[in-house]
Structure 1
Amino acid sequence: MAVEPLTRTQIEDRLSGLPGWSLDDDHLTRTYRLDSHFAAASLVVHVARIQDELDHHSELTLGYNTVSLAVHTHSAGGSVTDRDVELARRVEAVAPAHGAR
């Protein structure tokens, strides 16, 4: 099934339910701050599992106490699609359990 790029209006509408996420250079992006490096690494592992479940992967960066994501859909010409929004929603759902803010 082909995925269709979202319009800017559609992206903005979907982002209204994803606090901290933004559109940045045709990527949905978010940086989480955590209390420790171990907590950040734990979140990375959890995000990696979600990405494998969805078969949709972001640019995922681990810092000392930060985790950053940037995602778009390569098969849609590098545009943002509902696949990206679903990944963001799933990550947003698990991040608080790791102490992410």
Structure 2
Amino acid sequence: MIWFVRRVLPLLLVESAAVAISTRELAESVFFNHVLQNAVVHTFSRSPASLADFFFQAFLNTEIVVQLLVAGSLLVGIFLMRDALRTLRTLVSRQRNLSRFSHVI
């Protein structure tokens, strides 16, 4: 438990704050409902590749601030997933180490 509070919790708090800030800024900059409605209207009867192309073109045609916010959000998400997997691996390995000693007691 002390390991979690010292090593994982501060990083988790910083990453959570970064996600919250970037999400709030994106919500103020982009009206996602309109983007999704436009995507459905323009690509309804076409292939899934056209939907991906629509979102890519929409991303390229946004302001640079929005592009940076999206890129930053993706980066923070990647770091968050990496840290979550690293934490799970560490917890599993610690459980295995502790289970070896539980038979002795």
Under a length normalisation based on structure 1, what TM-score does the superposition of the two structures give?
0.31
Under a length normalisation based on structure 2, what TM-score does the superposition of the two structures give?
0.31
Computing the radius of gyration over CA atoms, which structure comes out larger, 1 or 2? 2
Greater helix fraction, Structure 1 or Structure 2: 2
Greater strand fraction, Structure 1 or Structure 2: 1
